[in-house]
Amino acid sequence: MTTQAAPPPGGAGPAQAPAQVPAEEFARVQQSPEFAELRRSHRSFAFPLTVAFIAWYLLYVLLSNYAGDFMGTKLFGNVNVALVLGLAQFATTFLIAWLYSRHAAAKLDPKAQAIKDRLEGGA
């Protein structure tokens, strides 16, 4: 048994479904220079940061396994190098997420929206 959701307050009906776009249009857009630029802009940001973060993570793992004396060096109180570098992993993760969010909002989203508007406008 299916039920329909009630319209939102104020009497407005349900939102319209997005325009149906033929598959050929998607293939055409995928081959367009605008889409290639969007992909390049995403890759030029995401790939280097991904590689850098993986290298940074592997360095931490390798230091933990093979440089126990160094990682156990106390910096102050009960805080040692391993703890600081481990917490830096979290900080790096949040920093990368924040940077990507800014990059996407400034560079990727406007290009993607323009492509989407053109695609749906032609449907």
pLDDT 10s digits, 96-107: 999 999 999 999
State pTM to two decimals. 0.71
| Chain CA centroid to CA 10, Å | 36
| 61 pLDDT tier (thresholds 50, 70, 90) | very high
Distance CA 96, CA 57 (A): 13
Report residue 117's pLDDT band, with 50, 70 and 90 as the boundaries: confident
CA contacts within 13 A on the Cβ side of 50: 6
Give the pLDDT band of residue 60 (cuts 50, 70, 90). very high
